[in-house]
A and B are shown apart, each in its own frame.
Chain A
Amino acid sequence: MAYSLSLSLLYLGFLCGNGLVSARGSELFVPDPNRGPHFTGCRSREQETFRCWWSAGTFQNLTEPGALRVFYQTKNALSTSEWQECPDYTRTVENECYFNKTFTHIWISYCVHLRSVPQNITYDENCFTVENIVHPDPPIGLNWTLLNASRSGLHFDILVRWAPPPSADVQMGWMKLMYQVQYRVRNTSQWEMLDLVSGTEQSIYGLLSDKEYEVCVRCTMSAFKNFGEFSDSIIVHVAQIPSKESTFPMTLVLIFGVIGVMILLVLLIFSQQQSRLMVIFLPPIPAPKIKGIDPELLKNGKLDQLNSLLSSQDIFKPDFNHEDLWVEFIQLDIDDPAEKIDGSDTQHLLGLSRSGSSRVLNFKSDDDSGRASCYDPEIPDPEDMASLLPGHSGWGEQHPLVSRSSSSIPDLGVQQTSEVVETPVQTQPAVPSWVNMDFYAQVSDFTPAGGVVLSPGQLNGSPEKKKEEENEKKIQFQLLSDGAYTSENTARQLSADVPPSPGPEQGYQSFPSVAVEGNLWNGEYLVCASDSQTPYLLPEAPPVPILPPVSDYTVVQEVDAQHSFLLNPPSSQPTVCSHSPNKHLPAMPTMPMGYLTPDLLGNLTP
Chain B
Amino acid sequence: MMKKTTVLQVCVAFVFCSPQAVIASADDCPDPDTGGTSCTISLEKLLDRAVQHAELIYRVSEESKLLFEEMLDSFGGVNLHVPSGTMCAPKTVSMSKNEIQQISDKWILHSVLILIQFWTDPLADLQASLENNENASSALLNRSKWMSTKLRSLEQGVLVLVRQILGEAGLLSEDPEETFDHIISSDIESVRRGYSVLYCFRKDAHKIETFLKLLKCRQIDKDNCSLF
* B-binding residues in A (CB < 8 A): 47-48, 74-78, 101-109, 127, 129, 131, 169, 171-174, 176, 222-224
Contact = CB atoms under 8 A, between A and B. Distances in A.
A105 B100 CA distance: 10
29 contacts: A48-B96, A74-B94, A75-B85, A76-B88, A77-B85, A77-B86, A77-B92, A103-B96, A104-B96, A105-B94, A105-B95, A106-B95, A106-B97, A106-B210, A107-B92, A107-B203, A107-B206, A127-B84, A131-B206, A172-B214, A173-B51, A173-B214, A173-B217, A174-B97, A174-B210, A223-B58, A223-B59, A223-B62, A223-B63
Interface residues of B, number: 37
B94 A106 contact: yes
A102 B101 CA distance: 12
Contacts of B224: 171-172
Interface in B44-93: 51, 55, 58-59, 61-63, 84-86, 88-93
A226 to B, nearest CB: 12
Contacts of A104: 96-97
A105 B93 CA distance: 9
B207 A75 contact: no
B216 A109 contact: no
The 5 lowest CB-CB distance pairs between A and B, nearest first, are A173-B213, A108-B94, A109-B84, A223-B62, A105-B94
B98 A107 contact: no
Contacts of A78: 90, 92
B215 to A, nearest CB: 9
B225 interface: yes
Interface in B21-51: 51
B150 to A, nearest CB: 14
Contacts of A107: 92-95, 203, 206-207
Given A75-B85, A172-B224, 13 more contacts: A76-B85, A77-B86, A107-B92, A107-B94, A108-B92, A169-B97, A171-B225, A173-B51, A174-B210, A174-B213, A174-B214, A223-B58, A223-B61
Contacts of A224: 62
B134 interface: no
Contact of B94 (A48, A76, A172): A76
Contacts of B88: 76-77
A173 B96 contact: no
Given A77-B85, A77-B89, A131-B206, A101 B96 contact: yes
A87 to B, nearest CB: 12
Given A171-B217, A171-B221, A173-B213, A106 B55 contact: no
A76 B210 CA distance: 18
A270 to B, nearest CB: 62
Nearest to A128: B84
A43 to B, nearest CB: 17
A77 B90 contact: yes
Contacts of A108: 85, 92, 94
Query: What is the interface of chain B mostly: helix, strand, loop, or mixed?
Result: helix
Contacts of A173: 51, 210, 213-214, 216-217
Query: What is the interface of chain A mostly: helix, strand, loop, or mixed?
Result: loop
A222 B59 contact: yes
Contacts of A77: 85-86, 88-92
Nearest to A103: B96
A200 to B, nearest CB: 17
Contacts of A109: 84-85
B95 A76 contact: no
B85 A47 contact: no
A144 B124 CA distance: 48
B176 to A, nearest CB: 17
Given A107-B203, A172-B213, A222-B55, A75 B84 contact: yes
A112 to B, nearest CB: 13
A68 to B, nearest CB: 24
Contacts of A74: 94
A48 B98 CA distance: 9
A172 B217 contact: yes
Nearest to B94: A108
A81 to B, nearest CB: 10
B114 to A, nearest CB: 13
Nearest to A111: B84
A165 to B, nearest CB: 16
Contacts of A222: 55, 58-59
A532 to B, nearest CB: 94
A161 to B, nearest CB: 22
Residue picked from B61, B85, B91, most chain A C-beta under 10 Å: B85
Interface string B194-228: 00000000010011011001101100010011011
A405 to B, nearest CB: 103
A109 B86 CA distance: 11
B41 to A, nearest CB: 20
A106 B91 CA distance: 14
Contacts of B51: 173
Interface in B156-187: none
A37 to B, nearest CB: 23
Contacts of A169: 97, 227
B96 A106 contact: yes
Contacts of B214: 172-174
Contacts of B221: 171
Contacts of A47: 97
Nearest to A127: B84
B3 to A, nearest CB: 47
Contacts of A75: 84-85
A222 B60 CA distance: 11
A338 B100 CA distance: 147
A394 to B, nearest CB: 85
Contacts of B91: 77
A303 B134 CA distance: 100
A105 B213 CA distance: 17
Residue picked from A77, A101, A174, most chain B C-beta under 10 Å: A77
Nearest to A132: B203
